Amino acid sequence: METDLFPKRFAPLFLSVLAALVSGLFLPTPWALFVFPASVALSLVGLFDIFQARHAVKRNYPIVGRLRWFFEEIRPAIRQYLIEGDHERAPFSRIQRSLVYARAKNQISDRPFGTLVDVYQNGYEFIAHSTRPVPPSDPATFRVAIGGDACRQPYQASIFNISAMSFGALSANAIRALNKGAKLGGFAHDTGEGSISPYHREHGGDLIWEIGSGYFGCRTEDGRFDPARFAERAADPQVRMIELKISQGAKPGKGGILPAEKVSAEIAATRGIPMGRDCISPARHQAFSTPIELMQFIADLRRLSGGKPVGFKLCVGQPWEFMGIVKAMLETGILPDYIVVDGAEGGTGAAPQEFADHLGMPLRESLLFVHNTLVGAGLRNRIRVGAAGKIVSAFDIAVAIALGADWTNAGRGFMFAIGCIQSLSCHTNRCPAGVATQDPVRQRALVVPDKAQRVYHYHRNTLLALSEMIATAGLAHPGEITPHHLVRRVSLTEIRLFSQLHIFLEEGELLDGACERDFYGNAWKLARADSFEVAI
């Protein structure tokens, strides 16, 4: 058997050597001038493959074995453009991306001939329309006031904003385009934990300053929180809200390291870190270690910022920890102005596969859990709730609001608006669209004035679609959407309202300790205000 295989698997190398010998004899004839260098190069490649020690396939199949790596390299693009179905979400479907592209370009996104969705498939969802629809409202009125009793500078936020994406993960031109689009449309741009770069400031769009465990932009030399630096930056009128990041959906509970060689002068200046050293973003905060200390830190941030809205973002994990935070609110009387719920399906530039696939609670479950806990504790009317995690369409916004959100954030949707083609190369610094790269040549392809208009149009047209959609249900404002308006197919012969599918707690239900709902009642008993540990 081995005698039969040997000539076959080494045939490309034998043919290359033979071609080199034969063509060498006929030099300098025209055909030999072409064949000789090519065959010599292939022969050298084949000999190298035989004697290298890293790849068994190339040792056994010199030259031709390299095709394996070539096809692996082009497989994602081939699948996306030639094989992938319109509704396959990997992670966003062709239908979703095409919708964003059309709205960003201000093109008609209407579709002829009827839906392509199987409306009898389990999981199909829709909004129940009314026999008395109302005229669509002006999307400019789709705003929510954020700021509680302790807030002196409340913010009127759009119900659809740009989610946290840092300079460094995104290019300078991407940041410029997003912020200019936010300025044109009057909505907010979250900085991500990489702090406020010069590119966030160029066009003056409203900023939500996200502060992570690295305290970038407001840190001491040893990486601790610096109140004076924070107060100085937070005083900027462009900064409308402060967001403390406890965890994020794509990699909850994990910190990060930006190697020293990637810390450019711009990134060092933006983050307030020294060049020549690794940039460490720890997995946990140093400024607090208990739920009560978290509330006290939020109060400090609000005071140092001059009374601007301060909230926190988290991907829900162990339920008693969030409930412990809520108990700390009740014990201290200190409330965040808002909470952003980041679903486990949220995006990131790079994350370990196990983290992206198997850590954190998905958005719908975590949003409902946060909403219910606040309702059960009697605090929901005093705290606003935002939602982030694969939100790209008007229907996505409606679902999030029905499950308890006051507003929504989108990251990858706005990336599509500025040209992202979902090449899945964010972590390589070779983004073909110039969005997720620090390569100055690649990001030059992203023309800021054009892409800023697309950001503006995507936001405007999505809210226009939402206005028209909820008008059919007889609603004038997204805040009127309830679980009674959304419907889900649960079998071939049965559909149910969201209000029938999900548990919704009553106001103050958790406070008397007599909650009869197993999950909420048991988790509330385990929660502690003085510790993130389980109460025994």
DSSP string, 246-270: S--SSSTT--EEE-GGG--HHHHHH
Cα distances from 327 to residues 276, 376, 511, 527, in angstroms, run: 43, 11, 10, 8
pLDDT confidence of residue 113 = 76
Is 5's pLDDT higher than 60? no
Alpha carbon distance, N-terminus to C-terminus of the chain: 67
Is 32's pLDDT higher than 60? yes
Q: Which band of pLDDT confidence, cut at 50, 70 and 90, is reported for residue 348? A: confident
pLDDT confidence of residue 1 = 46
Half-sphere exposure of 397 (CA within 13 A, CB side): 27
Is 106's pLDDT higher than 50? yes
pLDDT confidence of residue 352 = 74
List CB contacts of 428: < 8 A, sequence separation 6 or more: none
Query: What would the pLDDT profile of 475-505 be if each residue is shown by its tens digit?
Result: 999 999 999 999 999 999 999 999 999 999 9
Query: For 502, which DSSP code?
Result: S
d(CA 65, CA 67): 5
pLDDT confidence of residue 372 = 96
Residue written as token pair 């983290």: 355
Cα distances from 58 to residues 50, 64, 68, 71, 73, in angstroms, run: 7, 8, 9, 14, 16
Mean of pLDDT over the chain: 90
Averaged pLDDT for residues 15-38: 91
Query: What would the pLDDT profile of 308-323 be if each residue is shown by its tens digit?
Result: 999 999 999 999 999 9
β-pairing, 143-146 vs 155-158, is antiparallel
Is 44's pLDDT higher than 90? yes
User: Exposure of 282 by Cβ count < 10 A (0-12 exposed, 13-18 middle, 19+ buried)?
Assistant: middle
Q: Which band of pLDDT confidence, cut at 50, 70 and 90, is reported for residue 345? A: confident
Averaged pLDDT for residues 265-283: 83
Q: Which band of pLDDT confidence, cut at 50, 70 and 90, is reported for residue 111? A: confident
Is 248's pLDDT higher than 90? no
To the question of pTM greater than 0.75 for the whole model, the response is yes
Is 117's pLDDT higher than 50? yes
CA gyration radius for the chain? 27
d(CA 393, CA 200): 25
Q: Which band of pLDDT confidence, cut at 50, 70 and 90, is reported for residue 3? A: low
Neighbouring CB atoms inside 10 A of 305's CB total 23
Averaged pLDDT for residues 363-385: 97
Cα distances from 135 to residues 42, 138, 463, 509, in angstroms, run: 70, 10, 15, 38
Query: Do 47 and 64 meet the contact criterion of CB atoms below 8 Å apart?
Result: no
Plot region of 257 (φ>0 → left; ψ -120 to 50 → alpha; else → beta): beta
Residue written as token pair 């606003």: 384
CA dihedral for 487, 490, 495, 500, sign (positive or negative) = negative
Neighbouring CB atoms inside 10 A of 338's CB total 26
- Among 208-217, 277-286, 434-443, name the one with the lowest average pLDDT: 277-286
Plot region of 432 (φ>0 → left; ψ -120 to 50 → alpha; else → beta): alpha
Q: What is the DSSP string of 113-150?
A: SS--S-TTSTT-EEEPP-SS--PPPPGGG-EEEE--TT
